[in-house]
Amino acid sequence: MNSTSSATSAVSDQGFTREQFEEHIASRKQPSWLLALRRRAMDACESLPLPNSQMEEWRRTPLRMLRLQGFAPLAPRPETVPQVPSVLEPLLSPGGRLLTLDGRKVAGSLSEKWVDRGVVFDCLEDSALGPQADLVRDSLFSILDWNYDRFAALHTAFWTGGAFCYIPRGVRVDEPLFLLSALGSGQADLGHLLVVLDEGAEATLVSETASVESGGTGLYCGGIELILKPGARLRFVNLQNWNDAVWHFAHQKAVLQQGAYLEWTLGALGGMLAKVNQHLILDGEQAEAVVNGVMFTENRRHLAYHTLQHHKKPFTRSDLLYKGALQDRSHLVWRGMIRVDEGAIKTDGYQRNDNLILSDRARTDCIPGLEILADDVRCTHGATAGRVDDEEIFYAQTRGLTKREAARMIVTGFFQQVFDRITIDSAREALAEVIGRKVREYR
């Protein structure tokens, strides 16, 4: 019998046990509502099945090699704050900065002028006990489905540290806020990012995940909640730039109320295996979201994205463009869904995933989907997977470019279309720079 195709691949059941959970909660102070939620999540953890290849969402994403028991929920506190290799930091002059290591705050600052205006950008766990306790209680896990699957429940039960970003009504933060989440070798990061923009608030939040060491495994099992009240405008970047050995499981969700606007740029440049659920809920008329995805995969990296653009209200717009380039034996999975609820007329939904396959052994599975229950909507989707076109290479060669120079130029150009949509200069430049470097190394 062929073990790879017939065996049910499952996560080893060990790790993040009930004993560890009791230890975990005993080690920290937290409000009772949070403790109660964690207990419910721990129960769910024990009753939810482990993701396996029989489940539709995990059919193409193999977890056979994952050993959860190899990771402890609480890393020992480091003696010193390590240098974290960040691609975004050199390009930013942020108005606030937060550094976490293994899901725990190690440094943070926010410029006086934003503090004075009521902006919060700090450790989430501390905020749950601080002056913003009520706000955190009302918002945390208010949109994320904490029992969506085993990883979501595990995250909810065990999350630590994290980051909380709150922009009060009408405040426009015109400097980027920067969150750098670092992960040490062999460690776990179960951090949670909670972002609340009150009515008419505006902000740019740039978040990057990076490994401290260039090698050594790690586990990220995180959650992101973006809550945009009426008229709020958020530009959000999350750049996943782990080393090649990190497991990445992420549940990310944004809810946009009336007239809110979100530009969400997601970059994936590292990791060994990543499974990301990116959900957008357009929950108020005239809400609009633009999603940009940039992926470059190498070696045996596996990236899986499950995106949802859920139009709940009329006159909402969403526009998603993911672009990926694949090398070596890497594998990219994208399952997109645009869902339009009954009555959500005049919605405009768009989703597209284009992939450039740079090696004979790389693979993509791109599956767009539509579920439309309203009349008078415009929803379109598309997916392409192709190779660098020989005719384009020849054309460039006749202008003096070598074959490789031509190929690299074409690959860079392939990403330009998505770069053109990113309005945050630092993010666009950093992505272009990293992609450029990878393309230069492209064999």
Binding site for another protein (CB under 8 A): 389-392, 394-406, 408-410, 412-417, 440
Give residue for tokens 């946009």.
Answer: 256
Tokens at 347, concatenated: 């919605």
Min. distance of Cβ 404 from another protein in angstroms?
6
Name 339's bridge partners.
310, 371
Helix axes 150-158, 18-26, angle to 10 degrees: 30
Please name the helix (run of DSSP H) or strand (run of DSSP E) that holds residue 427, with its range, or none.
helix 425-441
User: Residue 253 or 408: which CB sits closer to another protein?
Assistant: 408
Distance from C-alpha of 156 to C-alpha of 37, rounded to nearest angstrom: 8
Where does residue 143 rank: exposed (0-12), middle (13-18), buried (19+ CB within 10 A)? Answer: middle
Min. distance of Cβ 395 from another protein in angstroms?
4
Min. distance of Cβ 305 from another protein in angstroms?
22
Nearest to residue 227, comparing CAs of 290, 135, 158, 307?
135
Min. distance of Cβ 436 from another protein in angstroms?
12
Min. distance of Cβ 400 from another protein in angstroms?
3
Name 303's bridge partners.
274, 332
CB 207 within 8 A of CB 236: yes
Tokens at 390, concatenated: 């020989």
User: Residue 192 or 408: which CB sits closer to another protein?
Assistant: 408
Distance from C-alpha of 435 to C-alpha of 269, rounded to nearest angstrom: 8
Helix axes 403-419, 390-397, angle to 10 degrees: 120
CB 184 within 8 A of CB 218: yes
Min. distance of Cβ 390 from another protein in angstroms?
7
Where does residue 139 rank: exposed (0-12), middle (13-18), buried (19+ CB within 10 A)? Answer: middle
Order of all β-strands in the sheet with 202-211 = 104-110, 96-101, 177-183, 202-211, 233-241, 261-268, 288-297, 317-326, 348-357, 378-386
CB 97 within 8 A of CB 109: yes
Min. distance of Cβ 27 from another protein in angstroms?
51
User: Residue 272 or 358: which CB sits closer to another protein?
Assistant: 358
Min. distance of Cβ 268 from another protein in angstroms?
19
User: Residue 345 or 401: which CB sits closer to another protein?
Assistant: 401
Min. distance of Cβ 333 from another protein in angstroms?
24
User: Residue 190 or 356: which CB sits closer to another protein?
Assistant: 356
Nearest to residue 35, comparing CAs of 20, 25, 44?
25
Residue 52 per-residue DSSP state: B
Name 143's bridge partners.
none
Min. distance of Cβ 137 from another protein in angstroms?
46
User: Residue 355 or 412: which CB sits closer to another protein?
Assistant: 412
Min. distance of Cβ 392 from another protein in angstroms?
5
Distance from C-alpha of 315 to C-alpha of 304, rounded to nearest angstrom: 30
User: Residue 197 or 325: which CB sits closer to another protein?
Assistant: 325
Cβ neighbors of 345 (< 8 A, separation 6 or more) are: 314, 315, 374, 375, 376, 377
User: Residue 77 or 399: which CB sits closer to another protein?
Assistant: 399
Min. distance of Cβ 396 from another protein in angstroms?
7
User: Residue 33 or 394: which CB sits closer to another protein?
Assistant: 394
User: Residue 23 or 405: which CB sits closer to another protein?
Assistant: 405
Provide the strand spans (E) within 46-116.
96-101, 104-110
User: Residue 300 or 440: which CB sits closer to another protein?
Assistant: 440
Tokens at 156, concatenated: 């909810």
User: Residue 236 or 415: which CB sits closer to another protein?
Assistant: 415
